Amino acid sequence: MPVAIVTGGSRGIGRAIAERLGADGVSVVVNYQSNRAAAEQAVAAIERSGGQGFAVQADVADPTQLRSVFDRAEERFGGVDTLVNNVGTARFATIAQATDEDYELMFSINTRATFVALREAANRLRDHGRIVVVSSGVTATHRPESGLYSASKAAGEELVRVLAKELGPRGITVNNVLPGAIRTEALAAARSPELNQQIVASTPLGRIGEPDDIADIVAFLASDAARWITGETIHAGGGLF
């Protein structure tokens, strides 16, 4: 049975991905930072679908803790085949108003943690594995007040493109997924209902995305059906970008 690590797998998009992979017969390591109850609920859902799940607490902003997720996965399941790097954080402000703290927070989680996760995956994944980085549609839309967030996410996208070439000889694929607005707790906290309505009005498919919309795409990229796709960026915004 293949083994996957999903960072930030206890809530929102990450949980939908973890549960979908579990339903596809993958043993899933559900990483979480603080909400153990949510992580255990995700594991229970995976097990109800016939899969195997395992919750591992770690703050991905700490490289030592992030490496420990891979350690625990290897101890529990004997190896790792797939990494879904899903963790991210966002603060929105104009570049003129953004603070040094904003910069440090977003680049530590969105950029450095992505680099550490990709480096660990490059050294630990078994041949013919899969790496999927969940980035953000803001790197394509260039919205005002998204400068730091967009830049921190875009760095990860460049790492993916290079790593795809480096790991290609081992049959490991590496791809980005760029979600648009997705109905999660994070979206509700970050954006007003009025802004969400504007986004819906600008989206050709006419709605906010759901976590399962992204989970289905990630599950495809993690499957053997996507064996000939690598170094790509999949825009998943309902036509918004």
Position with higher pLDDT, 188 vs 8 = 8
- What value does the mean pLDDT take over residues 146-169? 98
What pLDDT digit, counting tens, does each position of 165-200 carry?
999 999 999 999 999 999 987 766 666 788 788 889
Confidence of residue 17 (pLDDT cuts 50, 70, 90): very high
What pLDDT digit, counting tens, does each position of 93-148 carry?
999 999 999 999 999 999 999 999 999 999 999 999 999 999 999 999 999 999 99
Please, what are the domains in the chain? Answer: 3-236 (3.40.50.720)
Catalytic residue status for 103: no
- The residues, ordered by sequence, that sit 6+ positions from 24 with a Cβ below 8 Å of its Cβ are 51, 219, 223
Asked if 8 and 113 count as a contact pair (C-beta separation under 8 A), the reply is no
Per-residue confidence (pLDDT) for residue 189, from 0 to 100: 67
Which of 149, 173, 213, 238 is flagged as catalytic? 149
pTM: 0.95
- Strand 3-6 and strand 27-32: the pairing is parallel
Which pair of structure tokens corresponds to residue 62? 């700490």
